[in-house]
Structure 1
Amino acid sequence: MRNALASEALLLRRRLAPFVVGCTWIVLVVGFGFGVPYIVYATLDPAKTADRAALLEMLLPSAAHTTAVGSYPMFGGAIMLILGVLVTGAEYRWGTWPARLAQGPGRAQVVIAKVLVGAAAVVVIAAAALAASMVTSAVIASVEGRPLTWPAVSAVAASLGVAVFISVAWLSLGAALGVIFRGVGTALAVGLVWTLGLENALSGLAGVVPALEPVRVILLGPTSGSLVAALGVPSLSEGGAVGVAAYVSGPVACAVLLAYTAAGIAVATVLIRRRDIT
């Protein structure tokens, strides 16, 4: 297993995909989590003092960690799903599975190593996005003449942990889709259409059709939003991020995300072991 991890880590470092995905996510968090809201704040009618104050409060260092993690349920998860698809699906695109598996170790070890190394990349990306958010919030505070009041270390750690937890679940789903569809294109199409389209439609219908309410418990997007809401991040109706809402409790959300992670790894492993790669 150690050799598998070392080889997969080297492979991921040599590929451009994790760097592109990571940089893209950092830009999205800073741009849409802080840049766009600050532009809205700057252009709001000065007479709307309460609205401007509430919006600015979310952009200051004391709330930067919650603002950053609030981006994950709707957009961050989809970005990490893309990374997961690229981790496994790219091997089909380049035709490198046969050579990779012929050299050992076993097929199951290779798949698990890919997911673990992908999870390590997710930790780095999430930490970098959080750091960029903190720096951006400090710049905003300086421009507005506000004091640099930083959140507690435990709160920042909890925010990072939730971001990583959500991201790994989406990464595992993407890795499974890459193996199921034997490539990148179809896996990305199916994954993004389901998570960004159908899940949102089902979640919206569940709000008006009581019979569909239990469906939210097993949907990855609403579950991710529930875990973020458990941190105290405001929902969209409260002026917070899109996709954040307490549909289920924090422990239930954790259980569902763990189930997605385990199922993604299991499906990818079983298919790789049973299929003829060539």
Structure 2
Amino acid sequence: MINAFASETTLLRNRPMPLVVGGGWVAMVLAFAFGVPYIVYSTLDPVDAQADRADLLDALVPASLDATSASSYPLFGGALMLILGVLITGPEYRWNTWTARFTQGPSRTQVILAKVAAGTVAVFVIAVVVVLASAAASMLIATIEGESLILPPAGDVLASVGAATLISTAWMTVGAALGVIFRGTTVALAVGLLWTLGLENAVSGLAGMFSMLEPLRAVLLGPASGSLVASLGARTQGDGGTPGVVDYVSAPVACLVLAAYIALSTTVAVAVIRRRDVT
């Protein structure tokens, strides 16, 4: 297992996909969590929109770093991490490398577990970089506006990184399982993005009108991710916050749902890869 994990981490370091996905996500957070809101803040009338300006600035200063840096994960970040998961397993079919991997080294189960572990390390590193970049952006805005540069407590920042890692790992493992199920990247990406960005949003919206759908909404990946971020103090979508941030379930329930997705996706990937031909 140690050798399999070392092999997978080496693969990720030598492939461009983690850098592309991670770099793209950092850029998106800086642009849409800090850049665009600050532009809106700067263009609002200081007299007529004083309350709106205050709310925007409160989310952009370092004191709100933990909530703001994680607020984009439930919708946009999750989709990117799903793509990363697909790219961890799907290309092995196109490159015809599964056979060599399974006949010359660890077992199929160990390889899949190693891929999931390596992917978890990758999303953790991405989460840390996002927090550091967000801290730099928030300090820059605070300096320009003459606001306090005091950061939130270290425990809150660690909780934000932990929540981002848990959310990212859940989405990543779903993508990895889809890559195995559909034996490639194209269909897996299409199904994954259609499900997460289309079906889940439709069910969440309908649950507001039909109470019978509320139990189903509570176990969906997106709402669980949004509820976990809301527990950090981020403004919900209904209160004018980032799309995808909701408060449908409590933080412990959200963590259990996300952990269940990780366990179920990994189990499915292992079961499928063990039972069928990989060529």
TM-score (norm 2): 0.98
- Whole-angstrom CA distance in 2 between matches of 1:49 and 1:233: 20
Contact 1:65 1:134 in 2 (8 A): no
Deviating above 2 A after TM superposition, structure 1's stretches of 4 or more consecutive aligned residues are: none
Given residue 176 of structure 1, which amino acid in structure 2 is its aligned partner? A
Q: Residue in 1 aligned with 2:149?
A: 148
**For 1:14-163, what aligned pairs fall within 5 Å after superposition?**
14-47=14-47, 48-163=49-164
1:184 maps to 2:185: yes
Secondary structure in 1 aligned to 2:32?
A: helix
Q: Residue in 2 aligned with 1:170?
A: 171
- Whole-angstrom CA distance in 1 between matches of 2:11 and 2:101: 11
CA RMSD of aligned residues (A): 0.8
Secondary structure in 1 aligned to 2:201?
A: helix
- Whole-angstrom CA distance in 2 between matches of 1:37 and 1:3: 46
Aligned residues: 278
- Whole-angstrom CA distance in 2 between matches of 1:181 and 1:77: 20
Secondary structure in 2 aligned to 1:227?
A: helix
1:270 maps to 2:271: yes
Q: Residues 147-177 of structure 1: CA distance to partner in whole angstroms, max 9, x if unpaired?
A: 2121100010001100001110011100000
Secondary structure in 1 aligned to 2:11?
A: helix
Given residue 17 of structure 1, which amino acid in structure 2 is its aligned partner? M
The CA deviation at 1:98 is 1.1
Given residue 227 of structure 1, which amino acid in structure 2 is its aligned partner? L
The CA deviation at 1:65 is 1.7
Identity of aligned residues (%): 59
Contact 2:174 2:265 in 1 (8 A): yes
1:12 maps to 2:17: no
Contact 2:177 2:266 in 1 (8 A): yes
TM-score (norm 1): 0.98
Structure 1 regions of 5+ residues with no counterpart? none
The CA deviation at 1:81 is 0.5
- Whole-angstrom CA distance in 2 between matches of 1:32 and 1:39: 10
Contact 2:79 2:196 in 1 (8 A): yes
Structure 2 regions of 5+ residues with no counterpart? none
The CA deviation at 1:64 is 1.7
